[in-house]
Amino acid sequence: MAPTSFDPANIEPVARRKNNGPPLKFLFPLIYAPVLPLIRLGLRHKPVLRDRLFTAVLAGAFLHGGYLVSDLYDAESK
């Protein structure tokens, strides 16, 4: 057997992503999930503001969830 030489110039570069920690898009539910009951309790005496703010945060949560699901399905189809 002939000895093989290792030539790093012949290796294709591998695209690597830096792992800087957890993706923040998956940590947002940890922020808005406790906020929902706090809105209901903290704004008990202002029902109009309470309901509007609760609805806005809940709609944002559903939009964020829809974005995550569509992003995941899009990544799997490629």
Per-residue pLDDT in tens (0 to 9) along the chain, 78 residues: 566 666 666 666 666 667 777 778 888 888 888 999 999 999 999 999 999 999 999 999 999 889 888 866 666 655
Q: Which residue range forms the structural domain that includes residue 56?
A: 23-77
**The two structure tokens encoding residue 8:** 């790093």
Token output for 70: 């569509």
pLDDT of residue 68: 85
Asked, for residue 16, whether it belongs to a domain, the answer is no
Q: Is the pTM of this model over 0.85?
A: no
Q: Which one-letter amino acid corresponds to residue 52?
A: R
The first and second tokens of residue 21, run together, are: 């920690």
Tell whether 51 is covered by a domain. Answer: yes
Q: Which pLDDT does position 41 carry in this prediction?
A: 94
Please report the pLDDT score of residue 17 as a whole number.
Answer: 62
Return the SS3 of 15. Answer: coil
- Residue 68 placed within a domain: yes
| 10: in domain | no
How many separate domains does the chain show? 1
